[in-house]
Amino acid sequence: QQVSMLSYGARYTTPIWTAAATLGSSGAHFTYYHKQAENLAFGVEFESNSNVGEAVGTFAYVAELPDEGVTMRASIDTNWSVGGVFEKRLSQQLPFTLALSGIFNHAKFTSDVVNPPALLYMGVDKYQNEELIKIGFHDHKKVKRCVVAKRINEIVNRLNKTEKKEDIDYRQVLPSCPSEEREQRDIAERRQQRKLEQEKKARELKEAEEREALRRQRHYEDVDWDSPPQKEKDDGNLSDDF
């Protein structure tokens, strides 16, 4: 399916930083790179794709070797995808560049020969001492499209394929035990359980009463100290001893 795309781009460059923005029908793309050294820059990219409803932020380092015609880029985005790009100009006379790119999260590596006049993407490239703003595609017929499968963990994917769900009817598993017998058995078990619980409760209550009686006896709580002492009738001559 061929899709026409119209986008607008703007770029501002200073000796130490570069900012670029692209707005189109499919979303927006913003970049900002700050020079850390002569041939090394650190940047932040933000891309919002309205077609898939996704926004991704990327942090990247870009190193350039102008004399060798080499550009290297290492990045990591908010989806924890680690990527790397290696570009090498094949010839100073021909406008062809060899681009090697890889994304660790998808374990997918590609090798493409890019023709700058035919393919322009968001970014900055140098060709014959001229800086080009890559904001889109000039020729859609030369663009290859592919469908990427949904990312699923390999182990989880295998488990999902071999998973079996069965609804087991345990009444059918035990045909030798009719439903009425099972109900009678359950009633008898519940009755026996209640009986055991009642016996245990009665035993605990009896033990508590015995402990309370022993405690009262040990502390003389049942002795009536207010009643007068009883006089002994046959005390003999014990009173003479006092």
Report the amino acid identity of residue 98: L
pLDDT of residue 190: 93
Same domain as 198, residue 104: no
pLDDT of residue 54: 79
Structural domain contains residue 157: no
pLDDT of residue 95: 59
Same domain as 180, residue 142: no
Same domain as 204, residue 115: no
pTM over 0.85: no
Same domain as 200, residue 125: no
Domain boundary among 130, 146, 162: 146
pLDDT of residue 87: 82
Same domain as 135, residue 52: yes
Same domain as 217, residue 100: no
In this predicted model, what pLDDT tens digit does every residue of 197-213 receive, in sequence order? 999 999 999 999 999 98
Structural domain contains residue 84: yes
Structural domain contains residue 154: no
Mean pLDDT of the chain: 73
The count of domains in the chain is 2
Same domain as 217, residue 105: no
Distances 169 to 21, 186, 222 between C-alpha atoms, Å = 63, 18, 65
The encoded tokens of residue 217 equal: 């006896």
Structural domain contains residue 141: yes
pLDDT of residue 106: 45
Q: Contact 99/85 with Cβ under 8 angstroms?
A: yes
pLDDT of residue 209: 92
Structural domain contains residue 189: yes
Same domain as 142, residue 49: yes
Q: Contact 70/64 with Cβ under 8 angstroms?
A: yes
**How many residues are present in the chain?**
242
Same domain as 113, residue 215: no
Structural domain contains residue 191: yes
pLDDT of residue 94: 60
pLDDT of residue 228: 65
Same domain as 208, residue 138: no
Distances 156 to 81, 108, 148 between C-alpha atoms, Å = 20, 20, 18
Same domain as 203, residue 129: no
Same domain as 138, residue 66: yes
Structural domain contains residue 240: no
Structural domain contains residue 49: yes
Residue 41: name the closest of 132, 137, 124, 162 by CA: 124
pLDDT of residue 144: 66
Q: In which domain, by residue range, is 105 found?
A: 7-146
pLDDT of residue 172: 66
List of the chain residues with pLDDT < 70? 1-6, 52, 91-153, 170-178, 225-242
pLDDT of residue 143: 64
